[in-house]
C-alpha cells in the first residue's frame, strides 16, 4: 500500500480509492474503498473493502471491511469485523464484533459477538454471543453462552443464565485471583 495522500489534498468530502494508506482523515463525509486509514473522523463514514484503526462518526457503514475501534451514533455492518465498538444503535449482517456496546437497540442477522452489552433490545436471527447483556432479547435460532436479560422471547439457546453466569463469574474470579496471588508469591519469593 502506498501512502500518497496528504490531508489537505483530500478536500471537503474525500473519496479514498485504490490501494492507499492514509494517516488521518477529518471531513463531513468520507468514502473509503480498497484502502486503509489510520484515524477517521466524519459525520458519515462509508467503508467498502477497507480498513481503519479508529473511526469516529455519526453514521458508520462498513461493507466487507473492518476497524479496530469505532464510535458511532448509528453502526451498519455487512460482512465486516470490529474489535471494539461503542454506538447508540447497531445493525450487523453476517458480521463479527469482539466487543459491542450499544446505548439502544442492536439487530444481528447471521452475526456474532464475543461481548454484547445493550441498554435496549437485541434482535438476533441465526446469531450468537459469548456474553450477552441486554434489557430484552428477541431471538430466532440463536445462542448465547452467558446471558443476562430482563425478558427473552423466541428461540435462544443459553448455556448459562443469570444465576449460573454470576456463579461462574464469581468462581472464575476467585480461581484467577488465587492463581495470580500464588504465581506472584512463588515468583517473587525467589
pTM for the structure as a whole = 0.78
Residues 150-187 pLDDT 10s: 999 999 998 877 677 778 778 888 888 888 888 887 87
Q: What is the mean pLDDT of the chain?
A: 87
Residue 17: name the closest of 1, 33, 31, 4 by CA: 33
Three-state secondary structure string covering 13-30? CCEEECCEEEEEEEEEEE
pLDDT at 35: 83
Residue 68 scores a pLDDT above 90: yes
Amino acid at each position: 500500500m502506498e501512502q500518497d495522500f496528504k490531508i489537505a489534498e483530500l478536500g471537503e468530502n474525500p473519496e479514498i480509492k485504490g490501494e492507499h494508506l492514509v494517516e488521518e482523515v477529518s471531513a463531513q463525509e468520507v468514502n473509503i474503498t480498497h484502502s486503509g486509514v489510520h484515524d477517521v473522523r466524519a459525520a458519515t463514514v462509508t467503508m467498502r473493502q477497507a480498513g481503519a484503526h479508529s473511526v469516529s462518526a455519526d453514521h458508520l457503514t462498513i461493507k466487507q471491511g473492518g476497524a479496530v475501534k469505532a464510535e458511532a451514533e448509528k453502526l451498519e455492518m455487512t460482512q465486516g469485523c470490529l474489535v471494539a465498538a461503542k454506538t447508540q444503535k447497531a445493525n450487523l449482517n453476517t458480521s463479527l464484533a469482539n466487543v459491542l456496546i450499544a446505548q439502544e437497540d442492536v439487530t444481528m442477522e447471521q452475526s456474532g459477538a464475543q461481548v454484547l452489552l445493550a441498554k435496549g433490545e437485541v434482535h438476533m436471527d441465526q446469531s450468537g454471543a459469548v456474553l450477552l447483556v441486554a434489557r430484552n432479547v428477541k431471538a430466532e435460532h440463536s445462542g448465547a453462552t452467558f446471558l443476562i436479560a430482563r425478558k427473552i422471547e423466541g428461540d435462544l439457546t443459553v448455556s448459562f443464565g443469570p444465576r449460573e453466569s454470576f456463579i461462574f463469574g464469581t468462581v472464575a474470579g476467585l480461581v484467577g485471583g488465587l492463581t495470580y496471588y500464588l504465581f506472584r508469591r512463588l515468583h517473587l519469593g525467589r
